[in-house]
Amino acid sequence: MPVVGTAVGGVPEMIEDGVTGHLVPPQHPRAMADALVKVLRDPARDAMGRAARDRVLAEFTLDRSVARAGEALARTAGREPARLAIVLDQTAVGGAERLLLDLCRQFDRTLVEPRLVCLRAEGPLGDAFREVVPVEVLERTGRFDMRTLPRLVRSLRAARIDVVLVAHHNRAALALGRVAARVAGAANVVAAHDMDLTRVGGRVLPRHVVETLFLSEALVLLAPSQGRYLHDEEGVGRFPWRRARGGDPERDRRRAAARRGRAGRGPPQARAGRRGPRDRHRRPVEQAEGAPRAAAGRGSVARGPAAAAPRRDRRWCGGTRPAGLGRRAGDRRARGVHRRARRRQGAPAGLRRHLPVVRARSAPLVVLESMAAGVPVVATDCGAVRDLVADGREGCVVPVGDPAALAARLGTLLDDPRMRADMGERARRRAEAEYSIERTTARFQELVTGLASR
């Protein structure tokens, strides 16, 4: 049966909102009543009930609980914490580095002991990392510094590292970190944070990494659509040598069961969120002549960057965020681009601080920050935005390059305070349930300890 429950304790981890039931805030009887009426009137409630049963059978049976408890005990009993080395060329003030820093702060030191190895220099976040983890700098002098690899191997061996984590955008670390991990006898994990960044040649993973993924134990992704993009556009997983070795068959079975449970929820194209080549942001968002207004008397709407803008500005597409949020995820240059883009686009003073121009990232932090602040999101359908924002629930997702649709959605939300409040509350609940740092840390810990135990 579909379940309507309050979002307290572990209930959000049991109920997948909109799939196996509905979550409502605690001490909010009107929301509970509305959700109950919605389920009773929904002709698809039987499919929701079947999806709920499939999830229980896949994840919450007694046998499954006993097996997972046994796995956890086997990993921790009589052994030291898994030693994790994060290898970067140098730190930068970006979303990926901020996520890694937050992970280092949150790791349970009885399970995972992290450390940071910088090949070239500490970078601007070096002091912040030093406050929470040991930091080692190898002082790499250039692209052809042949001393870097043996130094890195010695460092990993000296620290008895079990798992090496490298980020896709640090190309030196991506190449040298994986090789050093293999030589030192450690598992290596590649974390991909973007989709088709033009500044690195239009690829997330270099060709040599894709063709040698079998040398890595795991590939960490941000969203399902990112996995589909990497498979369709870059060939990840098409052949055995393009697959990471650390697959989880049990997890794959659970995901297959969940997909079967969602079979009655509309056409596959709608569920998968398929997009055309333009939405994979191979081309910049172009500014339309005579952009429409969000509503009468409000002035022009912030829209996509002009085609004649500098190259780094043309990679940005429209979105929303509350004032003051998202700054820690980007550097000074990124904030400068935000300001210049808004001035160039002529947004009215009352809207400029709520309508930044969001870079076409896989999972933009500005979207998650807005959701966590209880602000509904209006964003273009690029990257993995549709995986984060359900259109019509936590906000609105409009086609790329359609300023009329963007203006219409903004005008609708600005004119309807109750809709804004409802969407914002649902966005906040989803951000807290699915995208918290605690949840992300727990999944990373499970991955690292599992690889170390092998």
For 262-274, what is the mean pLDDT?
39
Is residue 181 within 8 Å of residue 205, measured between CB atoms?
Answer: no
Q: Which of 98-112, 245-259, 343-357 has the lowest mean pLDDT?
A: 343-357
For 64, the token pair is 């499954």
Contact 93/101 with Cβ under 8 angstroms? no
What 8-state DSSP symbol labels residue 60? S
Q: What is the pLDDT of residue 398?
A: 92
Residues in the chain: 454
Q: What is the pLDDT of residue 78?
A: 62
pLDDT on residue 254: 60
- Whether the per-residue pLDDT at 282 is higher than 80: the answer is no
pLDDT at 33: 96
Confidence of residue 247 (pLDDT cuts 50, 70, 90): low
Q: Which of 72-76, 143-147, 356-360, 380-384 has the lowest mean pLDDT?
A: 356-360
Give the pLDDT band (50/70/90) at residue 161: very high
Tokens, residue 25:
């805030």
Are the beta carbons of 361 and 342 closer than 8 angstroms? Answer: no
| pLDDT score of 133 more than 50 | yes
Read off the tokens for 47. 């499919």
AA identity, residue 433: A
Per-residue confidence (pLDDT) for residue 294, from 0 to 100: 29
Which string of DSSP letters, residue by residue, matches 232-258? HHH-TTSSGGGS-S---HHHHHHHHHH
**What pLDDT is attached to residue 332?**
42
> Taking all residues of the chain, what is their mean pLDDT, rounded to a whole number?
76
- Determine which of 10-14, 92-96, 426-430 has the lowest per-residue pLDDT on average: 92-96
Q: Which domains does the chain have, with CATH numbers?
A: 3-60+259-271 (no CATH), 78-258+437-453 (3.40.50.2000), 276-415 (no CATH)
Whether the per-residue pLDDT at 344 is higher than 80: the answer is: no
pLDDT of the residue at 201: 52
What's the mean pLDDT in 273-296?
32
How do residues 293-332 score in pLDDT, each as one tens digit?
Answer: 323 233 222 222 222 223 333 233 333 333 333 333 334 4
Bridge partners, residue 84, by sequence: 114, 163
**Band (340; pLDDT cuts 50, 70, 90):** very low
Q: Please give the pLDDT value at position 314.
A: 29
Burial 178-193 (b: 16+ CB within 10 A, else e): bebbeebebbbbbbbb
For residue 363, give the amino acid letter.
A
Closest C-alpha to 271, from 225, 238, 220, 319:
225
Q: 143 or 219, which is more confident? A: 219
Residue 441 has pLDDT above 70, yes or no: yes
DSSP 414: H
Token pair in block for residue 46: 């039987």
CA distance 382 to 417: 27
pLDDT score of 198? 41
115 pLDDT more than 60: yes
**What's residue 77's pLDDT?**
64
- For tokens 């004032």, what's the residue? 323
Percentage of the chain modeled with pLDDT above 70: 72
Going by pLDDT thresholds of 50, 70 and 90, the confidence category of residue 203 is confident
Averaging pLDDT over each range in 21-25, 226-230, 360-364, which range is the top one? Answer: 21-25
Task: Assess whether pLDDT exceeds 90 at residue 259.
Answer: no
Weakest mean pLDDT among 77-86, 267-276, 296-305: 296-305
What percent of the residues of the chain are helix, what percent strand, and what percent coil, each to the nearest 5?
Answer: 50, 10, 40
* Amino acid 216: pLDDT: 92
Residue 4: which pLDDT band, with cuts at 50, 70 and 90?
very high
Q: Which residue has the tokens 């070239």?
A: 120
Q: Which two tokens stand for residue 111?
A: 């399970």
pLDDT in the model for residue 182: 93
Residue 454 has pLDDT above 60, yes or no: yes
Q: Give the residue, 343 or 48, on which the prediction is more confident.
A: 48
pLDDT for res 353: 39
For the ranges 89-98, 265-274, 340-349, the maximum mean pLDDT occurs at: 89-98
Of the two residues 342 and 44, the one the predictor is more confident about is: 44
pLDDT digits (tens, 9 = 90+) for 375-424: 999 988 888 888 889 999 999 999 988 899 999 999 999 999 999 999 99
